[in-house]
Structure 1
Amino acid sequence: MPEDTSPSPRRRHAAGEDPAKREQILQGAMKEFLEKGFDAASMNEICRAAGVSKGTLYVYFADKADLFEALISDQREQMFQGIAAALESDLPLREKLVQFGRRLVEVLCSHRVIRAQRIVAATVDRMPEVGTRFYEGGALRSHAALLNLLRREAAAGRIDAPDLSLAAFQLMELVGAGLWRARLFGKRTLPPDPSEIGRAVESGVAMFLATYGTGRD
C-alpha cells in the first residue's frame, strides 16, 4: 500500500478554544477600550475592530464586562513578567532594586497601562470586582514578589525593617515619586524618559536602603 504523503489536516479548535482567534478579539477590544473607555465602547465596534462576527465574539466572551476583564487579566500577566524577573537575578541587592524600580515605573507610566488604570477607575463604582482583581493582579502581585526578596535579604542580614510588607509598599511608592501620579491625572501627557526614571528610581532606592539597609554585602 503506497505511503500517504499528503499534508496533515490542520487541527480544528473546539468552539471558543482557538488562542489565535481569542487574541484577535482581544486586540480589537483593546483598541476600542483604549480609545473610547468601557462605557462608550460597543460590541459592534469591537467586532468590527477585531474582524469577527458577533456570534464568534460571544463564543469566546459572555459580554462586554467579561471581555474587559479578560483583557485586563492578559495585560497584567504581560506587565508582571518583566517586573518579577528583575528580582530573580544574581545582582547585588541595590542593583536588583534599581532594575525592579525601573521596570515598575516604565510599566506604570506607559500609555497602555495609564489608560487601563483610568478605565478601571471609571468603572469601579459599578463593577468593584474588576477594580479588586486589577489591584490584586497588579500592585499586590508586584508587592508580593518584592516582599519575598526583602524576606530573603532580611534573613541574610542585608535588610533590617520592623515591617517588611510596609517597607515593600514604601519602595514601590518611592521609585515612582513625581512621575506616576502626574501621568495618571494627565499633568504629564507623555511617559517619562529613561533619564527621569533613572533619577527617581536611584533616589528612591538610596532612601530605602539608607533607612532599612544594613550595609552588608
Structure 2
Amino acid sequence: MKITANAALEEPDCPGDAASYAPDSPCFGKAAGRPRAADKEARQQALLHTAAQLFLEKGYSKVSLEMIAREAHVAVRTIYVKFGGKAGLLNAVISTGRAHFFAGMIDMEADPRPFREVMEDFALRFLELVTAPSFASLHRMVVAEARTTPELAETFYKAGPLRTREELMRFFSRPDIRVQLRPEIPLETLAVHMITCIMGDTMVRMLFPADHPPSIDELRARATLGLDLFFRAVLR
C-alpha cells in the first residue's frame, strides 16, 4: 500500500467487513448508518479485530503498532490519530467487545424496571462477557504480562473492571434504589460485593483453558444464585 503524507487522514482499505467477524471476538461489531458511515465503521472494526487477534495470539508486549498496521493494511499514523497509540487501541478493543454484550440493555441510571429485574439482566450479560473464550484469553494475557507491562494492566482495569464498578455505583446511588439498600454499606462496597457474588471463582477458572464455555442455562443459574446471595446481604 502506498502511504502518502496525508495517510493519517485517509480511509485505507481493509480486507473483509464487520459482519464477517464472530460474535465471540472481543471487537465484534456491526456497521450502521449511511453507506459511507458503514464503510468507515467496517474498516475500524477490521482494525480492532486484527489488533485483538494479534494481542491474544502473540501477547500485548510483543505486538507493535507497525505489526498491527501491516496486518490491517493501514498507516501507523492512522492508528495514532484514531486511538493515540497501542494502549488506546487496546482500550477500544475492550470497550467495543464490552458494548457488544451489553447492547440493547437500557442505561441503568435511567432503567425504569424493578431493581431485581435490572440486576438479573446485568448479571447474565456480565457473565456471558467474562466467560467468553476471547475474554478468558485476554484475562490470562493481562495476568501474565501485568508486572512487566504496567500500561496493559492499567488499560484493562480502566476499560473493564473499573468501568463496571462505576456503572454499578451510579445505579446503586439512584434514590429509588438506594432506599432499598442498607445505608451503612458504601456504594463501592456494594458494587464490589455484587460482582463478587455473581463471579464466584470465575476469575480463577479463567486461568485454565476450558473445553467449552458454560451454557446460557448454566450462566443463568449462576447469576440467580449469586444475586440471591447479594440481595440477602444488602437489602434492608
Q: TM-score, normalised by structure 1?
A: 0.75
Q: Which moved more, 1:198-207 or 1:16-25?
A: 16-25
- CA contact 2:182–2:235 (8 Å) conserved in 1: yes
CA distance in 2, matches of 1:149, 1:26: 30
The residue that corresponds to 2:161 in the other structure is 139
CA deviation string 1:112-147 (max 9, x = no partner): 222222223333223212311220221111111111
The yes-or-no answer on 1:118 pairing with 2:140 is: yes
The yes-or-no answer on 1:15 pairing with 2:7 is: yes
Q: Say if 1:75 and 1:30 are closer, same or farther in 2 by CA, change over 3 A.
A: closer
> Can you give the 5+ residue segments of structure 2 that lack an aligned partner in the other structure?
1-5, 12-39
The residue that corresponds to 1:158 in the other structure is 180
- Note the C-alpha offset of 1:189: 3.5
The one-letter code matched in structure 1 to 2:192 is F
Q: Say if 1:161 and 1:175 are closer, same or farther in 2 by CA, change over 3 A.
A: farther
The residue that corresponds to 2:199 in the other structure is 176
CA distance in 2, matches of 1:156, 1:185: 35
The residue that corresponds to 1:205 in the other structure is 227
The residue that corresponds to 1:69 in the other structure is 87
Residue of structure 2 aligned with 1:57, choices 71, 75, 85: 75
CA distance in 2, matches of 1:127, 1:187: 23
CA distance in 2, matches of 1:49, 1:193: 34
CA distance in 2, matches of 1:174, 1:155: 19
Q: TM-score, normalised by structure 2?
A: 0.69
Other structure's SS at 1:16 match: helix
The one-letter code matched in structure 2 to 1:110 is A
Q: Say if 1:114 and 1:85 are closer, same or farther in 2 by CA, change over 3 A.
A: farther
CA distance in 1, matches of 2:117, 2:177: 19
The one-letter code matched in structure 1 to 2:155 is R
- Note the C-alpha offset of 1:46: 3.9
- Measured on the aligned residues, the alpha-carbon RMSD in Å equals 2.9
The residue that corresponds to 1:24 in the other structure is 46
- CA contact 1:69–1:130 (8 Å) conserved in 2: yes
CA distance in 2, matches of 1:44, 1:148: 39
Structure with more of its chain in helix, by fraction = 1
CA distance in 1, matches of 2:203, 2:63: 26
- Note the C-alpha offset of 1:47: 4.9
CA distance in 2, matches of 1:22, 1:29: 11
The yes-or-no answer on 1:129 pairing with 2:145 is: no
> Can you give the 5+ residue segments of structure 1 that lack an aligned partner in the other structure?
1-13
- CA contact 1:146–1:168 (8 Å) conserved in 2: yes
Number of residue pairs matched by the alignment: 194
- Note the C-alpha offset of 1:177: 1.3
Residue of structure 2 aligned with 1:33, choices 55, 80, 101: 55
- Note the C-alpha offset of 1:24: 3.2
- Note the C-alpha offset of 1:80: 4.6
The one-letter code matched in structure 2 to 1:127 is T
Percentage identity across paired residues of the two chains? 20
CA deviation string 1:136-184 (max 9, x = no partner): 22111111111111111566521114222111101101111133431x2
Q: Which moved more, 1:161-170 or 1:121-130?
A: 121-130
